[in-house]
Amino acid sequence: MPTDDDNDALFSAEMKRRFEELAAWAIENCPDRQHPIKDADFNSCRQQIAALADGACAHENQRLKQDVNEDIDHQNKAIPEPSDSGPQYVNVTPSPWP
The answer as to whether 60 is a domain residue is yes
The answer as to whether 98 is a domain residue is no
What confidence tens digit (pLDDT) does each residue in 26-49 have?
A: 999 999 989 999 999 999 999 988
pLDDT, position 56: 58
Q: CB-side exposure of 20: number of CA atoms within 13 Å?
A: 7
Q: How far is 65 from 79, CA to CA, in rounded Å?
A: 22
Domain with 28, as residue range(s), is 4-84
Number of domains in the chain: 1
The answer as to whether 17 is a domain residue is yes
The answer as to whether 90 is a domain residue is no
The answer as to whether 63 is a domain residue is yes
pLDDT, position 64: 62
What confidence tens digit (pLDDT) does each residue in 47-84 have?
A: 988 888 777 555 655 666 666 666 666 666 777 888 88
What confidence tens digit (pLDDT) does each residue in 12-26 have?
A: 888 899 999 999 999
pLDDT, position 54: 78
DSSP state of 47: H
The answer as to whether 70 is a domain residue is yes
The answer as to whether 20 is a domain residue is yes
The answer as to whether 93 is a domain residue is no
